[in-house]
Amino acid sequence: MDYKRVFETMVSETAKYLKESNLKTMVLGLSGGIDSTVTSAICYEVVKRNPECGFKFIGVSLPCSTNSREENDSAYASMQAFCSEGWVENLQKEYLLMKATCEQRYPSTHISQGNIKARLRMIYLYNLASVTGGLVMDTDNLTEHYLGFWTIHGDVADYNPIGGLWKHEVYELCKYLFTEVYTDVDDWKYKALRAGYGITPTDGNGVAAGGDMAQIAPGHTYEEVDDILNTYLQTKDQPEQLKKELDRMNAAYGADTVERVLKRHHGSEFKRRRMPLLIERSLYE
């Protein structure tokens, strides 16, 4: 893949959307992860290349106690490198209050607690976008999309420049940026991209120890997970070809891993349907 072309397209299309929608501000929750960092670089270039538009990129780090120091430091690096404005707003107090409120009727789980954090962050970001005439940037990639690795009404936002890339391709794009575009090792932009590239991917919500891959496919890589997902999606309507590919992947990655990835994909199908689900008028007219 030509990552120079990928990056240039993401920057130009994002700028085009802002202009056509008469928006001025891009708002992003800085997680410190690679998706957030690469999206920050895109937003930075949109502002830099369109000075006549008065665009602004606001990045806010919204940690709770489950965010590691490494994640917080990486988010700070992105803030220094790419943002027109940026700050830290710790939401631990708000999280504990909402968690206690929710638990008055039913006990919470690790997943539901993580969802509370994601949705509190989105409340903050959407309010900020509303008062600054902007939109909230989305950072999910194809891998996360097809695994349901996101929170409905949480970390799904308005505009997603990297949504067409698999996770391993986001890594390649990030590598292109710090080896070909922002190459000054003493510059914050280089430091931010290297930090995002090297950090262990997590949801930042404390749902499971060991990072994202511990939940998805322990002991395997994003390249392997992406191969399983992409191959399945390409062949699911071709039974003979699908069987052949499943045999290949079972041999390469282990049947348990393939089953685990596809089970997560099928189990999150409801998230990928158009929301909210409607009763069509044709059923009662």
The predicted pLDDT at position 172 comes to 98
Q: 3-class SS at 166?
A: coil
Give pLDDT tens digits for 214-259.
Answer: 788 888 999 999 999 999 999 999 999 999 999 999 999 999 999 9
Three-state secondary structure string covering 18-37: HHHCCCCEEEEECCCCHHHH
Q: Which helix (H) or strand (E) holds 90?
A: none
Backbone angles phi, psi at 217, to 5 degrees: -155, 85
Could you tell me the pTM of the whole model? 0.94
The mean per-residue pLDDT over the stretch 3-31 comes to 97
Do you know the residue count of the chain?
A: 285
CB count, 10 Å around CB of 22? 7
CATH class in words for 3-207: alpha beta
From-to residues of CATH 3.40.50.620 in the chain: 3-207
Tell me, what DSSP letter sits at residue 88?
E
The predicted pLDDT at position 277 comes to 76
Q: Any alpha helices (H) in 103-141, and if so which ranges? A: 110-132
Between CA 35 and CA 49 the distance in angstroms is 21
The mean per-residue pLDDT over the stretch 5-28 comes to 97
Classify strands 85-88 and 134-136 as parallel, antiparallel or unpaired: unpaired
Give pLDDT tens digits for 256-285.
Answer: 999 999 999 999 999 988 777 777 878 888
Give pLDDT tens digits for 120-145.
Answer: 999 999 999 999 999 999 999 999 99
Look-up of token digits 């999309």: 145
Best CA proximity match to 35, nearest among 119, 129, 182, 150: 150
The predicted pLDDT at position 210 comes to 64
Give pLDDT tens digits for 73-108.
Answer: 999 999 999 999 999 999 999 999 999 999 999 999
Peptide bond between residue 63 and the one before it cis (omega within 30 degrees of 0): no
Beta bridge partners of 134: 25
